[in-house]
A and B are shown apart, each in its own frame.
Chain A
C-alpha cells in the first residue's frame, strides 16, 4: 500500500483521463456535492459493488452466525466426535472435520466474529485517537506536537510483530479486548501522524485566516473549519488498514500470543492445523480461504473508496 501519510508527492497528479472522468460525472449531475459525486462514481465501479457485497455478507455472518452455520444441518461448532478427527469433506459437512472432530464449516463461520470485531474495533478506536491527538498536534504545534511526535517515535521503533509479541506474552488473559488494546497501542501512531500532517497543511490556508479575522476561537476554527477539510485522508487510510489489522490478529493468534482456546477463530484453527497440514490440507484451505477473502474484500473496498474520495491519490 502506498504510504499516503508521507506527504511526499510520490503519486501522479490527475492526468488527462482522470480529469475527463471527473468532468463527465459532474456533467451528469450538475452542482452535485463532493459526497454525491464520489457516490455516483462508486456505484458505477464493479469492484466497489463486489467487495461491498462481500463485506456486507461477512458482517451478516459476524452478527448472526447461527443461521449461516446451520445451512448444512450441522451448525454447532462445539458438537465434536473424535472418531471424525481430520476427516475430509462429506455430505452435510462440506469442509470436513478438524483435529478434534468438530465440523470445520461451522467453526469457520463462527471464526469470523473475533477477527472482524478486532479489525473494526482497532481501526475505529485508533481513528478516534488519531483525529483528536493528530489535530491537536498539528494545530497547536510546539510542546504538544514535540511530545506526541517523540511518543509516536518510540512505537515506531519496534518492528510491529515483535512489539506485539513481547507485550502480549505479559498479558495473563488474552481475549478480543486485550488483543485489540495491544494492536491499538501500535496502530495509533501512523494514523496520528497522517492526521497531523493534513491539519498542518490546512492550518495556513486562507479560509482559516478568514475565520480567525472574523474572531472565531481556536476550538471553533479547528472543529468547524479545519476538521471537515482534513479528515478525509485519515478515514481513507483507516478503511485501507482494516484488512491489515485482521491479518495481524490472525498472525499473532497463529503464533500463540493472540486469542486462546476455547475461543473460535481463524487464527486458532490454522494454528491447531499446523502440524497436520501435510496430511490434511483441507484444514489449511478453508479457514485460510475465508480469512484471505475477508481481508481482500476490506482492502479492495478501501481502495475503491480512496479512488472516489481522494482523486489526488489515484
Chain B
C-alpha cells in the first residue's frame, strides 16, 4: 500500500511540473505586454516601462522566469499582479471561497439527487420511471451548461423572482442554489446512470440471491449487500468530478456574476495579467491532481485488486 501511494505521488509530481510548464509557456506567449496594458492604450515613458519590467522580471528569458516562479511557488508565493499591484494570493483568497462554495453545493446536489435517482431507477428497471430517468439523463448531458444556466436564470430569477438573478448578495444558500443545480446537471445525470448500472450488476450477483433466499427483508438485501458493493465506482466518479465541477464553475460564474476564480482568470486574461492567470491555473491543477490522487488511493483501499497489480 505504501509503495503504491509513493508511486502515485511521484507520478503526480511529474505531471504537475509538466502542466505548470505548459501553462507558464502558454501565458508567456500571450500576445501583448502587461506593462503596456497598464497604460490603457497610452504609451508609458520608457524609464517607467524599464523599471516595471525590472521589478516583475519581465525581460528575463523564459526558463529563468519559470524557475523563479516554481521556486517562489514552493515557498507559497504566487507572485504579484502586474495589473493591480496586489499579491495573487490575496486576490485568490477572496475568489476561491466563492468557487468552492459553488462547487460543493453542486456536489451535494449531485450526491443526494443522483444516487437516489439511480437506486430508484435500478429497482424499477424497465418501468415508466426508469425510462423517464434514462431519457432525462440524456437530455441533461445534451443541453450545454450555459444554455441551461441562462434558461434557469430567466425562468426562476427574472420571471418568477424565486431566487436572485445574479450576484452573491443574498449569501448561501439563496445565491448559490440555482447556479449549483445547473452546474450539477451534467454530473447528476452521470451519477444517476452509473448508480443504476452498478446496482443492477450487483443485484444479479449470487450473494444477493443467497441473501434473498435466506429470507432477509428486501430493504436489507439492497441496503446492506447490493448497494455497498455497487457504490465503489460511484465514489470514484464523485471524487474525479469535484475537479471538473471547479472547471465548470468558470462558465457558471460568468452567467450568474459570482466573483470567484473563474471571473478572476477571465479579467486577468483580458488585462494580460500573466501572474494571476498562472497562479489561478496552478491552484486549479493542484486541486484537480490531488483530487485524482485521493480517489486512486481510496480506490486501492476499497478494492485490493488495484494494489497488487
List the interface of chain A (C-beta within 8 A of B).
1-3, 6, 8-13, 15, 17, 150, 153-154, 156-162, 165-167, 169-170, 172, 243-244, 247, 250-251, 254-255, 270, 274, 277-278, 281, 284, 288, 291-292, 295-296, 299-300, 303
- Determine if B251 is an interface residue (Cβ-Cβ < 8 Å): yes
Task: Given A10-B194, A292-B144, A296-B142, check contact A160 B251 (CB 8 Å).
Answer: no
Pairwise interchain contact B19-A154, C-beta atoms closer than 8 A: yes
Pairwise interchain contact A159-B288, C-beta atoms closer than 8 A: yes
- Name the prevailing secondary structure of the A interface residues: helix
- Chain B's closest residue to A294 (CB) is B142
Of B29, B31, B145, B150, the contact of A284 (CB 8 Å cutoff): B150
Task: Given A277-B150, A296-B139, A303-B138, check contact A161 B250 (CB 8 Å).
Answer: yes
Q: Which of chain A's residues have a CB closer than 8 A to the CB of B204?
A: 12-13, 15
Task: Given A161-B248, A172-B31, A255-B254, check contact A281 B19 (CB 8 Å).
Answer: no
29 pairs from A and B in contact (CB 8 Å cutoff): A10-B198, A10-B233, A12-B201, A150-B15, A153-B14, A154-B18, A154-B19, A157-B285, A159-B244, A159-B284, A159-B288, A160-B244, A161-B247, A161-B248, A161-B250, A165-B265, A167-B26, A250-B146, A254-B144, A254-B251, A255-B251, A255-B266, A284-B150, A284-B151, A284-B154, A288-B147, A295-B143, A299-B138, A299-B141
Pairwise interchain contact A300-B138, C-beta atoms closer than 8 A: yes
- Determine if B212 is an interface residue (Cβ-Cβ < 8 Å): no
CB under 8 Å from chain A, chain B span 171-220:
190, 193-194, 197-198, 200-201, 204
- Chain A's closest residue to B198 (CB) is A10
Of A2, A166, A170, A250, the contact of B193 (CB 8 Å cutoff): A2
Pairwise interchain contact B197-A165, C-beta atoms closer than 8 A: no
Task: Given A12-B200, A159-B288, check contact A270 B146 (CB 8 Å).
Answer: yes
Task: Given A11-B201, A270-B146, check contact A157 B289 (CB 8 Å).
Answer: yes
Other 20 A-B pairs with CB < 8 A, given A277-B150, A288-B147, A300-B138: A1-B193, A10-B198, A12-B200, A12-B201, A13-B204, A154-B19, A157-B289, A158-B19, A159-B243, A159-B244, A159-B285, A161-B251, A166-B26, A170-B29, A170-B31, A250-B144, A270-B147, A278-B154, A292-B144, A296-B142
Minimum Cβ distance to chain B for residue A221 (Å): 25
Minimum Cβ distance to chain A for residue B86 (Å): 21
- Chain B's closest residue to A283 (CB) is B150
A6 CA to B197 CA in the complex, in Å?
A: 14
- Name the prevailing secondary structure of the B interface residues: helix
Interface string of B123-153 (1 = CB under 8 A from A): 0001000000000001101111111001101
Task: Given A157-B289, A284-B151, check contact A295 B197 (CB 8 Å).
Answer: no
Task: Given A170-B26, A296-B138, check contact A160 B150 (CB 8 Å).
Answer: no
Q: Which of chain B's residues have a CB closer than 8 A to the CB of A3?
A: 237
The 9 closest A-B pairs by CB, nearest first: A159-B247, A296-B142, A10-B233, A154-B18, A12-B201, A157-B19, A288-B147, A295-B142, A12-B200
How many residues does chain B have at the interface if contact means C-beta atoms less than 8 Å apart? 58
How many pairs of A and B residues are in contact by the CB < 8 Å rule? Answer: 146
List the interface of chain B (C-beta within 8 A of A).
11, 14-16, 18-19, 22-23, 26-27, 29-31, 126, 138-139, 141-147, 150-151, 153-154, 158, 165, 190, 193-194, 197-198, 200-201, 204, 230, 233, 237, 243-244, 246-248, 250-251, 254, 265-266, 269, 277, 281, 284-285, 288-289, 292
Q: Which of chain B's residues have a CB closer than 8 A to the CB of A9?
A: 201
Q: Which of chain B's residues have a CB closer than 8 A to the CB of A6?
A: 233
- Chain A's closest residue to B234 (CB) is A10
Pairwise interchain contact A162-B18, C-beta atoms closer than 8 A: no
